[in-house]
Amino acid sequence: MEKLVLYGPSFSVYVRIVRIVLREKELIENEDYILKPFDVFEPAEHPKEFKSLSPFGKVPVLAHGDLGIYETSAITRYLDQIFPSPSLQPTSPSSLARMNQVISIVDNYAYPILIWKIFVERISAPEEGRECNYQLVEQAHSEAMECLAALEDLIDFNGFLFGKALSLADCYMMPIFVYFMLTPEGKDSLSEFPNIHRWWLAVKQRPSLLKTRSKWG
Ligand SMILES: N[C@@H](CCC(=O)N[C@@H](CS)C(=O)NCC(=O)O)C(=O)O
Asked if residue 206 and residue 99 are part of one domain, the reply reads: yes
pLDDT at 112 (0 to 100): 98
Domain of 49: which CATH number? 3.40.30.10
**Residue finishing a domain among 53, 82, 111:** 82
Asked if residue 99 and residue 56 are part of one domain, the reply reads: no
Helices 93-105 and 134-154 cross at an angle (nearest 10°) of: 180
User: Given pLDDT bands bounded at 50, 70 and 90, which one contains residue 61?
Assistant: very high
pLDDT at 162 (0 to 100): 95
Find the domain containing 74 and state its range: 4-82
Report whether residue 72 contacts ligand 1, using a CB cutoff of 6 Å: yes
Ligand 1 centroid from CA 58, angstroms:
4
Asked if residue 206 and residue 122 are part of one domain, the reply reads: yes
Report whether residue 106 contacts ligand 1, using a CB cutoff of 6 Å: no
Taking only the tens place, the pLDDT of each residue in 147-175 is 999 999 999 999 999 999 999 999 999 99
Taking only the tens place, the pLDDT of each residue in 21-34 is 999 999 999 999 99
Taking only the tens place, the pLDDT of each residue in 82-94 is 999 999 999 999 9
In a domain, 31, yes or no: yes
Asked if residue 112 and residue 63 are part of one domain, the reply reads: no
Ligand 1 centroid from CA 158, angstroms:
31
Taking only the tens place, the pLDDT of each residue in 171-189 is 999 999 999 999 999 999 9
pLDDT at 207 over 90: yes
**Residue finishing a domain among 54, 82, 110:** 82
Report whether residue 71 contacts ligand 1, using a CB cutoff of 6 Å: yes
The protein residue whose alpha carbon is closest to atom 16 in ligand 1 is 58
Taking only the tens place, the pLDDT of each residue in 117-154 is 999 999 999 999 999 999 999 999 999 999 999 999 99
The protein residue whose alpha carbon is closest to atom 18 in ligand 1 is 71
Half-sphere exposure of residue 164, counting CA atoms within 13 Å on the CB side? 0
Asked if residue 192 and residue 117 are part of one domain, the reply reads: yes
**Residue finishing a domain among 32, 54, 82:** 82
Q: What is the DSSP letter of 160?
A: B
Report whether residue 198 contacts ligand 1, using a CB cutoff of 6 Å: no
pLDDT at 82 (0 to 100): 98
In a domain, 171, yes or no: yes
In a domain, 184, yes or no: yes
In a domain, 87, yes or no: no
Asked if residue 168 and residue 67 are part of one domain, the reply reads: no
- When pLDDT is averaged across residues 205-217 and rounded to a whole number, the result is 96
Report whether residue 152 contacts ligand 1, using a CB cutoff of 6 Å: no
Asked if residue 123 and residue 68 are part of one domain, the reply reads: no
pLDDT at 216 (0 to 100): 94
Asked if residue 204 and residue 105 are part of one domain, the reply reads: yes
pLDDT at 1 over 90: no
Ligand 1 centroid from CA 71, angstroms:
8
Residue 142 near residue 205 (C-beta atoms within 8 A): no
Please give the tally of structural domains in the chain: 2
In a domain, 33, yes or no: yes
Domain of 151: which CATH number? 1.20.1050.10
pLDDT at 12 (0 to 100): 98
Report whether residue 99 contacts ligand 1, using a CB cutoff of 6 Å: no
